[in-house]
Amino acid sequence: MQKITVQTRPIDAQKPGTSGLRKKTHVFMGPHYLENYVQAIFDGIGGVAGKRLVLGGDGRYFNDRAAQVILRMAAAQGAAGVIVGVNALLSTPAASHLIRLRGTDGGLILSASHNPGGPEGDFGLKYNTPNGGPAPENVTDRIFAATQTVSQYTILEAHDLDLTRPGTTALGEMTVEILDPVADYAALMETLFDFDAIRALFASGFTMRFDAMHAVTGPYAHAILEGMLGAAPGTVVNGTPSPDFGGGHPDPNPIWAKDLVDRMMAPDAPDFGAASDGDGDRNMIMGRGVYVGPSDSLALLTAHAHRAPGYARGLKGVARSMPTSGAVDRVAAALGMACYETPTGWKFFGNLLDAGRATLCGEESAGTGSDHVREKDGLWAVLLWLNILADTRASMADLLAGHWRRYGRNYYSRHDYEDVAADRANALYDGLRARLGSLAGQTFGALTVASADEFAYDDPVDGSHSAAQGLRIGFTSGGRVVFRLSGTGTVGATLRVYLEEVETDPARLDRDAQEALADVIAAAEAIAGIKAHTGREAPDVIT
């Protein structure tokens, strides 16, 4: 086996976004593209000599090839060992867990998450640090800097490793441990939740449908829900990972998981429904006849977490990303616990979790998680819900309605304008930013602006400052609109408009969200001129 050095040149725009580097698959497959970025990661973390890494991905097209390249580069550059899932599969939370469990020097995750896969779809790669979490900004800055100076990389000339079976093998002088991607994760879940109570729930006739969306959670859900917890065979649908996710978007929201929504809205629907995304870190939660929005789910999980053994001693605090609704804030206030507001992206929760300041975290984009790993965790959220249902034996609809009666309801929606020309999206955004200072006191339709600013975050643990994290405008009604540009897209710009209005009148808790938000939607248009700037009459995706 020979080590070879390949000359290369920096490739433009290898800049990690909200969660690693995401590009069109054919871009990632281009000459030196993957190798340059892997080299930049290695350089950005001070080399891999003597280090141990975790490696795995969501099984999308090119996952297998990319894993072999990364293994050969790590071996050539002196890594001591790599722990890799069978067939190079690992869900993002399972990878985070393995990094922590095995005390490795971090890990590489091959995924573009909820973005579609396949030769025409997207691919992605991110580095997670030894705490198991996505690299924070100072690390991604170093990686990006390294992409701009990379001039060569070394790689072993070797045949592909057989990753189809568990076992330990060698690649040059590097040890490669191939393991079942599910086992350690399933064992961790068993320590957090009352599996006996959940088994009893299923044994009593409780029914569920879990849509794995042809993505990585299939094997996890089959093993845990049907295998360990006794859910009826067939509970898990679309449970075999496919390289192009069956041609769909593995994005668990009412648009892309419409099959599940239709099933759950039928008169003979199962009691509980859930879906997860490409890499298994997001979740969608439904009951018979009800959809539980991610911000509400975070609030309810916070209110009921003590029902699960892993959280029986209470929560240290909670954290939510800035655009996530304030529903959880009310629960935190009622329970007398700290509630942190962070920028978008799971990397910002890491310090709070490490410092023991927060136990649960969540994002409006269907991410929920806790201090058990340092990533959001789709199946974990599903299991916490199941534990709560096993303990309360209440219906999802009753739990949700009861929550709103007690705390009020934060009506919430996100409107996405996708693939907008970058200059047009920037014109809207920069123009609005320039006017923020003059908005307070102005009235737009039925609403008056109370505050307007650009969100910036000072990390309370390490003092790091993150500027330019979204434009937020609060109304005197308690409502709010937030504007952000996505950091995970691969074509053009995606404008996200987050809309929220607070309702405490018990007679008005059951409205359609878009109707309840009509004044906020109109004010957002009046303030930002979305239609004129984007040339769109309506959002592409409403969640």
Q: Is 116 in the site for ligand VG1 (CB under 6 A)?
A: no
Among 43, 251, 281, 503, binds Co ion (CB under 5 A): 281
What minimum distance in Å lies between the beta carbon of 365 and ligand VG1?
A: 4
Q: Is 53 exposed, middle or buried (0-12, 13-18, 19+ CB in 10 A)?
A: buried
Q: Is 351 in the site for ligand VG1 (CB under 6 A)?
A: no
Q: Using CB under 6 A, which of the segments 7-15, 339-347, 438-446, 470-478 binds ligand VG1?
A: 339-347
Out of ligand VG1, Co ion, none, which partner does residue 296 contact, by CB within 5 to 8 A per kind?
none
455 is a contact residue toward ligand VG1 (CB under 6 A): no
The reply to whether 39 sits near ligand VG1 by the rule CB under 6 A is: no
CB of 39 or CB of 283, closer to ligand VG1: 283
Find the binder of Co ion among 279, 296, 416, 459 (CB under 5 A): 279
- Contacts of residue 217, Cβ cutoff 8 Å, sequence gap at least 6: 91, 210, 276, 280, 378, 379
HSE-CB for 131 with a 13 A CA cutoff:
17
Is the Cβ of residue 77 or residue 115 nearer to ligand VG1 in the bound state? 115
Tokens representing 36?
């340059």
Three-state DSSP class for 182?
coil
In whole angstroms, the minimum distance from the beta carbon of 113 to ligand VG1 comes to: 3
* Nearer to ligand VG1 (CB atom), residue 18 or residue 238: 18
Quick one: tokens of 271? 């009691």
- Is 113 catalytic? The answer is yes
Distance of CA 385 to the CA centre of its chain: 18
C-alpha distances in angstroms, 427 versus 56, 499, 521?
A: 39, 21, 20
Pairing type for strands 52-57 and 81-89 reads: parallel
At which residue do the structure tokens 């990006």 appear?
144
- Taking the least distance from each CB to ligand VG1, the nearer of 6 and 456 is 456
251 counts as binding Co ion under rule CB under 5 A: no
The single residue of 113, 242, 321, 486 carrying the catalytic annotation is 113
Site string for ligand VG1, 14-33 (x = CB under 6 A): ----xx--------------
- Which of residues 185 and 407 has its CB atom nearest to Co ion in the complex? 185
CA atoms in the 13 A half-sphere facing the CB of 302? 33
Based on the shown chain and the rule CB under 5 A, indicate whether residue 375 belongs to the binding site for Co ion. no
Q: Nearest distance from residue 278's CB to Co ion, in Å?
A: 6
Maximum Cα–Cα distance for the chain, whole Å?
Answer: 73
Residue 446: closest CA among 505, 529, 526, 506: 526
β strands within 51-173, DSSP E: 52-57, 81-89, 107-110, 122-128, 152-157, 167-171
**226 lines the binding site for Co ion (CB under 5 A):** no
How would you classify the pairing of strands 457-458 and 465-466?
antiparallel
Binding mask 258-277 for Co ion (x = CB under 5 A): -------------------x
For ligand VG1, the binding residue among 140, 365, 370, 387 (CB under 6 A) is 365
3-state secondary structure 322-356: CCCCCHHHHHHHHHCCEEEEECCCHHHHHHHHHCC
Strands 107-110 and 52-57: parallel
Residue located via tokens 């698959």? 25
| String of DSSP letters for 375-408 | S--HHHHHHHHHHHHHHH---HHHHHHHHHHHH-
Among residues 277, 296, 377, 503, the one that binds ligand VG1 under rule CB under 6 A = 277
Q: What distance in Å separates the CA atoms of residue 335 and residue 442, rounded to the nearest whole number?
A: 35
Residues 105-144: x/- map of binding to Co ion (CB under 5 A)? --------x-------------------------------
Minimal distance, residue 31 CB to ligand VG1, in Å: 27
**Residue selected from 33, 202, 346, 498 as contacting ligand VG1 according to rule CB under 6 A:** 346
Interface of this chain with ligand VG1, residues 456 to 515, rule: CB under 6 A: 486-488, 496
Rank residues 88 and 198 by Cβ distance to ligand VG1 and give the closer one: 88
The three-state secondary structure class of 94 is: helix
Taking CB under 6 A as the binding criterion, the range among 47-55, 240-248, 311-319, 362-370 that sits at the site for ligand VG1 is 362-370
Which structure tokens are listed for 66? 């990319």
Which residue has its beta carbon closest to ligand VG1?
113
Beta strands in 38-94 (DSSP E): 52-57, 81-89
Identify whether the C-beta of residue 212 lies closer than 8 Å to the C-beta of residue 218: yes
**Shortest approach of Co ion to residue 123 CB, angstroms?**
14
What are the two backbone dihedrals, phi and then psi, of residue 148, each rounded to the nearest 5 degrees? -90, -5
| Spatial separation of the C-alpha atoms in residues 11 and 496, rounded to whole Å | 28
Only segment of 50-58, 303-311, 342-350, 396-404 that touches ligand VG1 (CB under 6 A)? 342-350
Closest CA to 304 of 360, 374, 244: 360
Which residue's CB is nearer to ligand VG1, number 281 or number 503? Answer: 281
Give catalytic residues, as residue numbers.
113
Binding site for ligand VG1 (CB under 6 A): 18-19, 113-114, 277, 281-282, 321, 344-346, 363, 365, 367, 486-488, 496
Binding site for Co ion (CB under 5 A): 113, 277, 279, 281-282
